[in-house]
Structure formats: C-alpha cells, structure tokens
Amino acid sequence: MMRPWILPAVLMFCGTVAATGPVVGGHPGSAAALLVVFVLLAVVHSPLVFPRSVTAPEAQRRSAADGRPVVFWRPGCFYCLRLRFRLGRHAQRLHWVDIWRDPAGAAVVRAANDGNETVPTVVVAGRPHVNPEPEWVRKQLFPSS
C-alpha cells in the first residue's frame, strides 16, 4: 500500500535537504525555487496524477460492460506518465489498475509480458498491448473518429 508513495517521499526529502544549503547560505529565494521543483517532481510521480485505480477484476468487469480499455500502470513510470498526459481529459474514460497496489493486476501484466512487469500495458477487447502510442489508445476510446 505504501510502495507507490516511496518515490514521492524520497523526492520530497531530497528537495528539503537540497533546499537547506541555499537557506543556510542566505538565499531563501533559490531554496524556495529548488523546493518547488522537487515538490512538482513528487506530485508528478505520485498516484495523485492518475485517475483512481481499481482492482484488475473490477476493471475487467467494467471493461466488459462498457468496452473501454484497461490500463495497467505503476507510479514513477515515465511511459505511464506520457500516456496519461497525452490522453488529457480522456484518461478518465479508461479503467486504470496500479500494479503496485493490486497483485492480480501485476499477474495480468506478467502473463502478457513473458513474466515482466512492463507498463503501461493496455488491454483492449481482451488483447494486451504493451506501451502503445497515446493516439492509438485514444482511437480505441473513439473508434468512429
């Protein structure tokens, strides 16, 4: 449960440590700017950036009902962030499964990737696609476009 927050916590700690140097040296503005950069990095790598995660069985049930893709992701993954940001507001329409919080989701990803936890893995109509282009995922949401 705490694993997704390790990287953001480390970033916050490093930012605090890095900002103490400029504060002690009499440069509070530089310290504040440095701290803001680390806080932004921590937020981007936290689970807060992504839509609320559900369990793999729940995501698969919802996907079967509404036909929307399921995205298996993990915090700190650059490619997951890229997918999330490039989808913009349409990301809310997908079903997101955090594989660090859901062992069943991690098992689905390992089964699709020869035992590796390669993310993002997007499942569309029961077929997994590893690290697809965001435009392709968007077309899966709006097939007639």
pLDDT band at 1 (very low <50, low <70, confident <90, very high): low
Domain boundaries, the chain: 3-48, 50-141
Distance CA(125)–CA(105), nearest Å, equals: 16
Which pLDDT score is estimated for 142?
80
Radius of gyration of the chain (CA): 18
Which pLDDT score is estimated for 134?
93
50 contacts 96 by C-beta, under 8 angstroms: yes
137 contacts 88 by C-beta, under 8 angstroms: no
Q: What is the pTM of this model?
A: 0.72
Distance CA(83)–CA(24), nearest Å, equals: 40
What is the arithmetic mean of pLDDT over 27-54? 87
128 contacts 121 by C-beta, under 8 angstroms: yes
Question: Of 11-15, 44-48, 90-94, which gets the smallest average pLDDT?
Answer: 44-48
Q: Hey, what CATH class is 50-141 in?
A: alpha beta
Which pLDDT score is estimated for 145?
55
> Which stretch of DSSP H or E encloses residue 86?
helix 78-87
Distance CA(38)–CA(35), nearest Å, equals: 5
CB-based contacts of 62, cutoff 8 Å, min separation 6: 54, 68, 95
pLDDT digits (tens, 9 = 90+) for 51-98: 788 999 999 999 999 999 999 999 888 999 899 989 888 888 999 999
pLDDT digits (tens, 9 = 90+) for 102-142: 999 999 999 999 999 999 999 999 999 999 999 999 998 88
